[in-house]
Amino acid sequence: MHASRRARTRSFKRALFVLAAIAAVVVPYVLVNASASSIWHPTADASISWNWQLQGTVPTNTNVQMFDIDGFDNTAATVAALHGGGSIAVCYIDVGTWENWRSDASQFPSSVLGSSNGWPGEKWLDIRQLTALEPIMTARMQMCVAKGFDALEPDNIDGYTNSTGFPLTAQDQLNYNEWIAGEAHALGLSVGLKNDIDQTAQLQPYFDWALDEQCNQYSECGTEKVFTDADKAVFNAEYGKSTSFCTADVAAHINGVRFDLNLDGKTYNPCGGWTAPPTTTASTTTTPTTTASTDSSTSSTDAGSSTTDSSTSSTDAGSSTTDSSSTTDSSSTTDSSTSSTVSTSSSTTSTSSTTTSTSSTTTSTTRLPTTTTRRGTTTTTRPATTTTRRATTTTTTRRGRG
CA distance 344 to 311: 38
**Is 146 part of any domain?**
yes
Within-domain flag for 62: yes
Residue 380 domain flag: no
Q: Smallest Cα–Cα separation from 320: which of 261, 358, 268?
A: 268
How far apart, in whole angstroms, are the C-alpha atoms of residue 111 and residue 100?
Answer: 15
Q: In which band, very low, low, confident or very high, does the pLDDT at 36 lie, cut at 50, 70 and 90?
A: low
Rounded average pLDDT over 226-233: 98
What pLDDT was estimated at residue 319?
37
Answer positive or negative: Cα dihedral of 124, 126, 130, 133: negative
DSSP label at residue 53:
E
82 or 276: whose pLDDT is higher?
Answer: 82
Please check whether residue 34 lies inside any domain of the structure.
no
What confidence tier does 327 reach under pLDDT thresholds 50, 70, 90? very low
Percentages helix, strand, coil for the chain (3-state, rounded to 5) are: 25, 20, 50
Mean pLDDT confidence for 188-201: 98
Look at 5 and 160; give whichever has higher pLDDT. Answer: 160
User: Does any domain span residue 161?
Assistant: yes
Average pLDDT, the chain: 73
Q: Is residue 106 part of a domain?
A: yes
Residues 204-232, mean pLDDT to the nearest whole number? 98
- Please give the pLDDT value at position 353: 34
What local confidence, expressed as pLDDT, does residue 37 receive? 61
DSSP three-state, residue 257: strand
Q: What is the pLDDT of residue 127?
A: 98
**Confidence band, pLDDT 50/70/90 cuts, at residue 4:** very low
User: 208 or 303: which carries more pLDDT confidence?
Assistant: 208
DSSP collapsed to 3 states, 98-152: EECCCCCHHHCCHHHEEEECCCCCEEEECCCCHHHHHHHHHHHHHHHHHCCCCEE
CB atoms within 10 A of CB 391: 16
Angle between helices 130-146 and 170-186 (to 10 degrees): 30
Convert the pLDDT of each residue in 277-308 to its tens digit: 555 444 333 345 434 333 433 333 333 333 33
CATH number at residue 110: 3.20.20.70
How high is the pLDDT of residue 68?
Answer: 98
**112: confidence class by pLDDT, cuts 50, 70, 90:** very high
Q: Which amino acid is at 324?
A: S
Is 181 or 315 the better-scoring residue by pLDDT?
A: 181
Instruction: Return the number of other C-beta atoms located less than 10 Å from residue 344's C-beta.
Output: 11
Q: How many CB atoms lie within 10 A of CB 363?
A: 15
Q: Looking at the 3D structure of the chain, how many domains does it have?
A: 1
What are residue 23's phi and psi, to 5 degrees? Answer: -60, -35
Is residue 191 over pLDDT 70?
Answer: yes
Distance (Å, whole) CA 355 – CA 351: 9
CB atoms near residue 304 (< 10 Å): 15
Which residues neighbour 207 within 8 Å (Cβ) at sequence distance 6 or greater? Answer: 181, 191, 192, 193, 227, 232
| Span 148-170, average pLDDT | 98
Letter for the amino acid at 292? A
User: Is residue 20, in this structure, part of any structural domain at all?
Assistant: no
Give per-residue pLDDT as tens, 347-388. Answer: 333 333 333 333 333 333 333 333 333 443 333 333 333 333
Query: What distance in Å separates the CA atoms of residue 321 and residue 337, rounded to the nearest whole number?
Result: 17
Per-residue pLDDT band for 275 (boundaries 50, 70, 90) equals: confident
The C-alpha atoms of residue 124 and residue 165 are separated, in whole angstroms, by 8
Is the pLDDT reported for residue 42 higher than 90?
yes
Give the residues across from 284 on adjacent strands.
349
Residues spanned by the domain of 122:
41-302+310-363
The reply to whether 392 falls in a domain is no
With a threshold of 0.75, does the pTM exceed it? no
The fraction of the chain above a pLDDT of 70, given in percent, is: 59
In the Cβ-directed half-sphere of 108, how many Cα atoms lie within 13 Å? 26
Q: Kindly state the average pLDDT of the residues 313-326.
A: 36
What b-and-e string marks burial along 312-335, b requiring 16 or more CB atoms within 10 Å of the CB?
A: beeebebebbbbeebebeebbbbb
pLDDT category of residue 33 using cuts at 50, 70 and 90: very low
Name the residue with higher pLDDT: 272 or 198: 198
Q: Evaluate if residue 159 carries a pLDDT over 70.
A: yes
Exposed (0-12), middle (13-18) or buried (19+): which is 204, by Cβ within 10 Å? buried
